[in-house]
Amino acid sequence: MDKIAILCSGGDSCGMNPAIKRFVEYSFSKNLQPYFVYGGYEGLIDNKIQEATYADVTGIIHRGGTKIYSSRSKRFKEKKYRDIAAKNLKNLGITKLVVLGGDGSFRGIDIFFQEHKISFCGIPATIDNDINGTQYCLGVDTALNVIKVATDNIRDTAASFKRAFVIEVMGKGCGYLALVSALTSGAEMCLIPEIPYDLEALKKRYLKEIDQGRNYFIAIVAEGLDNAKEIALWFEKEIGFESRVTTLGHIQRGGNPTVRERLMAYQFATYAIDALSEGKTNAVICYNNGAFDFKNIDEVNAKKYEIDENLLELGKCLLNK
């Protein structure tokens, strides 16, 4: 029986648990022995690798986070620890690895593969949705829904006062979460690292809108800009509205995975196991324009993720006009 392991690395994201469940069940159906690596690359180094059973994955499909834990491993950046990790896998006879994670995790597994030739398939998993080569990463849909509920709630109180609310959302250096959230929650402002913003132009529009009866503002800003307080102050000074800041923080990482997330997790895990069974050695399973495709890890890691032009176009008036 061939042995296959799964690990989660970097920030956890909703959809990891459904993917882990599918991984175990589908492995058994393909006559593979599934293993869990507990705690990401840290667990790989510390040999926290155990056989997985059906019982391990009962009752997890609806849970956020990851049953097998995650980590951001500094040690995995050093060759001596990657050598230990490879030895641990080889001692157990594990020849295939499924890696759920973001761009940092993919850079790590790329080097690991070049050094040790242990086959892997990457599943893009990060709420930031910032992996080059795929339009969708596991976790982003649930995170967007968490932000939607929070923003709708804030709107209730915003509409009851004459106030401006600045909501900071996650995404590291990427503005995807902020842009999609602003578009889908009817925000008046959206600031993201990818596009220079023009406060003077926005001010002109806002003052006109206030004349026409606007009574509150919702601004969504990406954490990468680190300017939520500054923007709140700007609303007070330049627009004349009392303001409040809400940093949504880690609530965006948790919750009950959406239906879309669960279905995508099942498909990602299935494709990953199929790819490894068919002899792919260093692929990432991507999702673009409604279809799955495999990309070589070099191609994925070669470029920084760029937000789709159509989305940027839709968001233009929230960004700077």
Min CB(250)–ligand F6P separation in Å = 6
From candidates 22, 82, 96, 172, binder to ligand F6P by CB under 6 A: 172
Strand segments, DSSP code E, in 2-159 are 2-8, 32-37, 49-51, 94-101, 119-124
Q: Is position 15 an interface residue for ligand F6P (rule: CB under 6 A)?
A: no
Residue 270 phi/psi, 5° resolution? -65, -50
Catalytic annotation present for 128:
yes
The verdict on 305 binding ligand F6P (CB under 6 A) reads: no
The 3-state DSSP class for residue 69 equals coil
Pick between residue 34 and residue 171 the one whose CB is nearest to ligand F6P: 171
- Span from 120-128, 258-266, 288-296, 298-306 in contact with ligand F6P (CB under 6 A): 120-128
Q: Which of 12, 110, 128, 141 is catalytic?
A: 128
Task: Give 284's strand partners.
Answer: 122, 295
Query: Binding residue for ligand F6P (CB under 6 A) from 5, 7, 9, 11?
Result: 11
**Contact residue for ligand F6P among 21, 253, 280, 295 (CB under 6 A):** 253
Q: Does 175 bind ligand F6P (CB under 6 A)?
A: no
Whole-number Å distance between alpha carbons of 261 and 13: 10
Identify residues 83-102 at the interface with ligand F6P (CB under 6 A).
Answer: 102
Of 282-301, which residues contact ligand F6P (CB under 6 A)?
Answer: none
- DSSP code at position 251: G
Q: Which is nearer to ligand F6P, 178 or 218 (CB)?
A: 178
Q: Which stretch binds ligand F6P (CB under 6 A): 61-69, 123-131, 144-152, 313-321?
A: 123-131
| Residue 8 near ligand F6P by CB under 6 A | no
Q: What is the DSSP string of 177-245?
A: HHHHHHHHHT-SEEE-TTS---HHHHHHHHHHHHHTT---EEEEEEGGG--HHHHHHHIIIII--EEEE
Burial class (CB in 10 A: 0-12, 13-18, 19+), 1: exposed
Cβ proximity to ligand F6P: between 104 and 162 the closer is 104
Give the number of other CB atoms < 10 A from CB of residue 219.
Answer: 25
- Work out which of 105, 126, 185, 301 binds ligand F6P, going by CB under 6 A: 126
Quick check: 42 binds ligand F6P (CB under 6 A)? Answer: no
Applying CB under 6 A, which part among 26-34, 78-86, 164-172, 310-318 lies near ligand F6P? Answer: 164-172
- Whether residue 163 contacts residue 156, with contact meaning beta carbons closer than 8 Å, is answered with no
What is the rounded CA–CA span in Å between residue 38 and residue 40?
Answer: 6
Least spacing, CB of residue 143 vs ligand F6P, in Å: 8
| Residues with Cβ within 8 Å of residue 61, at least 6 apart in sequence | 17, 18, 21, 257, 262
- 122 near ligand F6P, judged by CB under 6 A: no
- Site size with ligand F6P, rule: CB under 6 A: 10
Pick out residues in 182-241 that bind ligand F6P (CB under 6 A): 223
Distance (Å, whole) CA 32 – CA 97? 12
Query: Taking the CB of residue 214, how many other CB atoms lie within 10 A of it?
Result: 16
Min dist CB 7 to ligand F6P, Å, is 16
Q: Do the beta carbons of residue 283 and residue 268 sit within 8 Å?
A: no
Nearest-angstrom CA–CA distance, 291 and 270: 14
Least CB distance to ligand F6P at residue 105 (A): 10
Known catalytic residues are: 128
Give the residues lining the site for ligand F6P (CB under 6 A).
11, 102, 126-128, 170-172, 223, 253
